[in-house]
Structure 1
Amino acid sequence: MFDNLAGFFIHWAITALALWAASLVFNGIRFSSSASLIVSALLLGFANAVLRPLLVLLTLPLTLVTLGFFLLVINALMLLLVARVVRGFTVSGFWTAFFASLFISILSMAIGTLAPNAETTIYRLPDSSPHVIST
């Protein structure tokens, strides 16, 4: 049950870091406290895990017609939804959310490649080289 907990906390920290960086880059994004930043990161991860796949499925024809660019709109809508729900987190408008969600996605992906993978465990057998086993 707790096997993926480390991966969850790593992903949560990456999302929080990307949101914080976006608030520094974009004037239209503000957090009133660090608690609102942490809650926003948690809720954004939840929205992306639960609501985003449903929206992608419902808007599949539009996504196909726009060659996938409508997914950027869905990302912006997820950020606007989180800003609407979390007190202390504000986004000034759609275009700010659009470009900030693009920035957050790219930064999260870049930081995620540097973060340790919680699903990979290295076992060292006696008198041999390390063996990587993915779970």
Structure 2
Amino acid sequence: MRFLLNWLLTSIAIAIATFIVPGIAPFGPGEAWVSFMFVGLFLGFVNSLVKPIITAISLPVTIITLGIFQLVINSFMLELASWLSINILGAGISIASFGSAFIGAIIVSIMYAILNGVVEE
């Protein structure tokens, strides 16, 4: 049940980021919410499988930058989830540049935290 809730909250956060950041747009046939759900699903998988490995490898850089490099890692995870969802399922979000992914990852993180706080109350 918790997985489904996290998937829904992540998808909503991605939808909000898509409407705020100019370089991110839904991609693929069908409704936009399907694209958000696919990317949310893949972002959950990427964050649980790939992100811990990348975080461990980049730990020295993260320590030197006092944690700021974690934002770059989050950006790459969003781009990877978008790429996977488009190439495997045919729908997702298209990200125009790394700057769009960077701002999008920040907004997704903030929106997810807010939504999770609202649901937990």
Q: Which TM-score band (shorter chain)? A: 0.7 to 0.9
Distance (Å, rounded) in 2 between the aligned partners of 1:37 and 1:21:
10
Identity of aligned residues (%): 29
- TM-score normalised by L of structure 2: 0.87
Q: How far 1:84 moved relative to its partner? A: 1.6
Matched, 1:95 2:99: yes
> Deviations along 1:55-94, whole A, 9 cap, x unmatched?
0000011111111110000000001111222223200110
Matched, 1:74 2:78: no
Contact residue 28 and residue 96 of structure 1 kept, 8 A: yes
Unaligned runs of 5+ in 1: 1-5, 118-135
Specify the code of the residue in structure 1 equivalent to 2:58. T
Larger Rg: 1
Contact residue 19 and residue 41 of structure 1 kept, 8 A: yes
Distance (Å, rounded) in 2 between the aligned partners of 1:48 and 1:11:
12
Note the 1:50-69 alignment, pairs <5 A: 50-69=49-68
Question: SS state of the match for residue 115, structure 1?
Answer: helix
RMSD over aligned CA atoms reads: 1.3
Unaligned runs of 5+ in 2: none
- TM-score normalised by L of structure 1: 0.78
Q: How far 1:50 moved relative to its partner? A: 1.0
Matched, 1:19 2:14: yes
Specify the code of the residue in structure 2 equivalent to 1:18. A
Aligned residue in 2 for 1:132: none
More helix by share: 2
Q: How many residues are matched?
A: 112
Distance (Å, rounded) in 2 between the aligned partners of 1:105 and 1:10:
15
Note the 1:1-16 alignment, pairs <5 A: 6-16=1-11
Aligned residue in 1 for 2:25: 30
